[in-house]
Amino acid sequence: MFEDQDQIPAVTASLVADSDRLSFLPNFFGQRLMLQGEGLVFAWMSKLSENYNGGYWHFYTLSNGGFYMAPAFDEPMRISVEGNGFEGELSADAAGIVASLFVLCHLANLTEEDRVIELYWGLRDYAATHQESNLIFRAID
């Protein structure tokens, strides 16, 4: 374990190239959960944001082995989380992190698979370094 926080490597995100998009979902969700996982992310975003009505999504890999999906929107998204009373405006990137975290949490509880649990914590570690981390954590709390 690192004794000095400055020595902990930062988690970074990389946009998945168009040529690698077909292998993205099977790599992270596996063949069994890939369609369910993708559909759940879209459904969560529909539930979280009234101004979301579909569209193109960006896929990101994380340097710690995690991933997330985010709508390819330029404008901020209004997010409302029924279960905890959160209401706020987030970038599409941060909103995608929130939706992805909700889905990974749901799938981790559903499947109890170590891989899904690790993906949740990997994304949560990245979210902690995001410029909108405060809003992300308020939304998922």
DSSP class per residue in 25-52: HHHHHHHHHHHHHHHHHHHHHHHH-TT-
Q: What is the pLDDT of residue 7?
A: 57
**Cα radius of gyration rounded to whole Å, the chain:** 15
* Integer CA distances (angstroms), 134 to 37, 42, 90, 106, in order: 25, 23, 11, 22
- Report the CATH superfamily, name and number, of domain 29-140: Antirestriction protein (3.30.70.3580)
Report pLDDT digits (tens) over 96-126. Answer: 999 999 999 999 988 888 999 999 999 999 9
Instruction: Tell me the CA end-to-end span of the chain in Å, nearest whole number.
Output: 27
Residue 1 banded pLDDT, cuts 50, 70, 90: very low
pLDDT over 60 at 5, yes or no = no
Rounded Cα gap, residues 139 and 79, in angstroms: 8
Task: Beginning with the edge strand found earlier in the chain, give each strand of the sheet holding 57-62 in spatial order.
Answer: 13-15, 57-62, 67-71
Burial class (CB in 10 A: 0-12, 13-18, 19+), 52: buried
Report pLDDT digits (tens) over 60-96. Answer: 999 999 999 999 999 999 999 998 999 999 999 999 9
